[in-house]
Structure formats: structure tokens, C-alpha cells
């Protein structure tokens, strides 16, 4: 009777249980509890960056592609140095932002903010969409 009940319950659960051992105890499968939980994998990182050269765009793009980074980018050093390179860097950031379906906006005179697809930038007079610049 016990074996019949065991077979029925295992069929209902969709898993096959091991037969009881000689002592009448069932064997259990150990679960790995050291795996990263969903709440840890979905943490959002607000990360500051500084654009001093066009090559500084690559780490920003890499972190944005991961999907859990809000980038605060200080553009002042590149703005003071070379406006053509700044426009090139911002266009590269904007293309990646569009590809990941994120949002990008100017924040004051010296910063831009880039967020992933699950976030939206609240716009006021101080924050403006990059298209308007």
C-alpha cells in the first residue's frame, strides 16, 4: 500500500522518488543553496562615468548592455577639450541606448543620464532629451 501511494504521489508531482532504503528512509536530493538568487541578480547599479576621451565610451556601453546599470556620465572634460569628439561620443551612446530600448537625457550642462529599458527619465526644464540638443 505504501509503494502504491508513493507511486501515485510521484506521478502527481511529476518526479520519480527513489525507492526506500533498507532502513525504510527515503533518499533526498541536495539543492545547491549557493546559487545567486533572483533578487541579487536583478540589483540595479547607479554608476558614475567621466568622458575625457572618445575611448571612455566603451566601458559605459559595456555596462549598459548588461541591462542593470543607470549611467551618470560627466561630459564636462570632453566638452572643454573637443566638441566634435563629444558629439561623436554622445551619438554612439544614443545609438546603444536606442538598441537596448533605454532612455537618455541631459542633466544640467555637464551630465547625461542613460537608463535601461525598464526605467524612464522624468523630464523637466533642467533635463532635456538628447535629440533636442
Which tens digit of pLDDT belongs to each residue from 65-93?
988 999 999 999 999 999 999 999 999 99
Residues 18 and 43 grouped into a single domain: no
The CATH number covering residue 73 comes to 3.30.110.150
Q: Please, which residues have CB within 8 angstroms of residue 74's CB and are 6 or more apart in sequence?
A: 48, 49, 50, 51, 110, 111
Model confidence at 126: pLDDT above 70 = no
Nine-digit cell string for 3 = 509503494
The predicted model gives 45-49 an average pLDDT of 94
Q: Name the 3-class secondary structure at 117.
A: coil
* Range(s) of the domain holding residue 24: 1-30
- Tell me what pLDDT residue 67 has: 85
Distance CA(98)–CA(62), nearest Å, equals: 14
Residues 1 and 50 grouped into a single domain: no
pLDDT band per the 50, 70, 90 thresholds, residue 27: confident
Residues 50 and 82 grouped into a single domain: yes
Cα 9 to chain centroid, rounded: 40
Residues 9 and 66 grouped into a single domain: no
Answer for the pair 89, 77: CB distance below 8 angstroms, yes or no: no
Amino acid at each position: 500500500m505504501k509503494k502504491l501511494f508513493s507511486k501515485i504521489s510521484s506521478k502527481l508531482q511529476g518526479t520519480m522518488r527513489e525507492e526506500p532504503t533498507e532502513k525504510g528512509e527515503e533518499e533526498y536530493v541536495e539543492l545547491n543553496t549557493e546559487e545567486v538568487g533572483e533578487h541579487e541578480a536583478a540589483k540595479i547599479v547607479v554608476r558614475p562615468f567621466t568622458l575625457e576621451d572618445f575611448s571612455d565610451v566603451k566601458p559605459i556601453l559595456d555596462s549598459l548592455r548588461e541591462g542593470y546599470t543607470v549611467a551618470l556620465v560627466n561630459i564636462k572634460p570632453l566638452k572643454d577639450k573637443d566638441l566634435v569628439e563629444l558629439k561623436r561620443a554622445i551619438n554612439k551612446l544614443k545609438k546603444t541606448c536606442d538598441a537596448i530600448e533605454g532612455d537618455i537625457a541631459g542633466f544640467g550642462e555637464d551630465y547625461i543620464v542613460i537608463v535601461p529599458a525598464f526605467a524612464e527619465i522624468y523630464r523637466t526644464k533642467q533635463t532635456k532629451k538628447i535629440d533636442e540638443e
